[in-house]
């Protein structure tokens, strides 16, 4: 299984912007990723921080399997010059009628517009390479930074959803409205 995952990962996409490089998650990224997941970071996430590295291993091993099956892509965001870990950006539920894009940025990297840059890369890849026509982008109503990302990319509010931790705004970003 590990050999199959390694072979598949070599064919997975790498995305790049002016300041960032986005590679698909691999097991070597787990320790840095886990260390960046904090309770305050996840206050606007549908999920809570894993209780242990072992608990997180179950999560990322699922990502690897899903990427092997082309069900989702989970990209590790790094600074292109320093290779500093910035966060994760994902394309999820790729076999659904409307796949979903998601992002989180390590708290010490907030305020540099890395989120917009990373989501722009991933959405452009989804539309230009995968041929998708629409993506959903759920975000906590009070997460103004993430809402700005969706709106700057041409996202429109479709509905509001009451989630266990917060009220969510569901945006949809259409290829025809995407701001390249």
Q: What does the pLDDT look like over 8-54, one tens digit per residue?
A: 445 789 999 999 999 999 999 999 999 999 888 888 888 888 989 99
Considering the domain boundaries, does residue 9 fall inside one? yes
When divided into structural domains, the chain yields a total of 1
User: What pTM did the predictor assign?
Assistant: 0.91
- Give strand pairing partners of 87: 77, 105
pLDDT number for residue 40: 87
pLDDT number for residue 131: 96
Considering the domain boundaries, does residue 27 fall inside one? yes
What is the Cα–Cα distance from 175 to 180, expressed in whole angstroms?
A: 10
Please name the residue ranges forming H helices in the chain: 2-10, 30-36, 53-68, 114-128, 144-152
Q: Mean pLDDT over residues 112-129, rounded?
A: 97
**Helix axes 144-152 and 114-128, enclosed angle (nearest 10):** 40
pLDDT over threshold 80, residue 170: yes
Domain span holding position 114: 2-131
């Amino acid at each position: 299984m590990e050999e199959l995952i390694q072979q598949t990962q070599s064919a997975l996409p790498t995305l790049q912007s002016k300041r960032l490089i986005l590679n698909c998650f691999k097991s070597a990224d787990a320790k840095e990723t886990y260390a960046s997941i904090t309770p305050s970071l996840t206050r606007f996430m549908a999920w809570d921080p894993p209780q242990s590295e072992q608990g997180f291993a179950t999560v990322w091993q699922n990502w690897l399997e899903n990427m092997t099956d082309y069900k989702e892509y989970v990209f590790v965001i790094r600074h292109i010059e320093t290779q500093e870990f910035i966060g994760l950006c994902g394309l999820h539920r790729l076999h659904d009628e409307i796949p979903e894009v998601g992002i989180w940025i390590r708290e010490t990297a907030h305020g540099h517009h890395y989120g917009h840059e990373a989501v722009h890369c991933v959405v452009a890849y989804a539309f230009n390479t995968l041929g998708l026509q629409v993506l959903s982008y759920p975000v906590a109503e009070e997460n103004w930074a993430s809402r700005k990302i969706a709106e700057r990319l041409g996202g429109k509010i479709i509905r509001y959803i009451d989630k266990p931790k917060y009220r969510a705004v569901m945006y949809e970003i259409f290829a025809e409205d995407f701001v390249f």
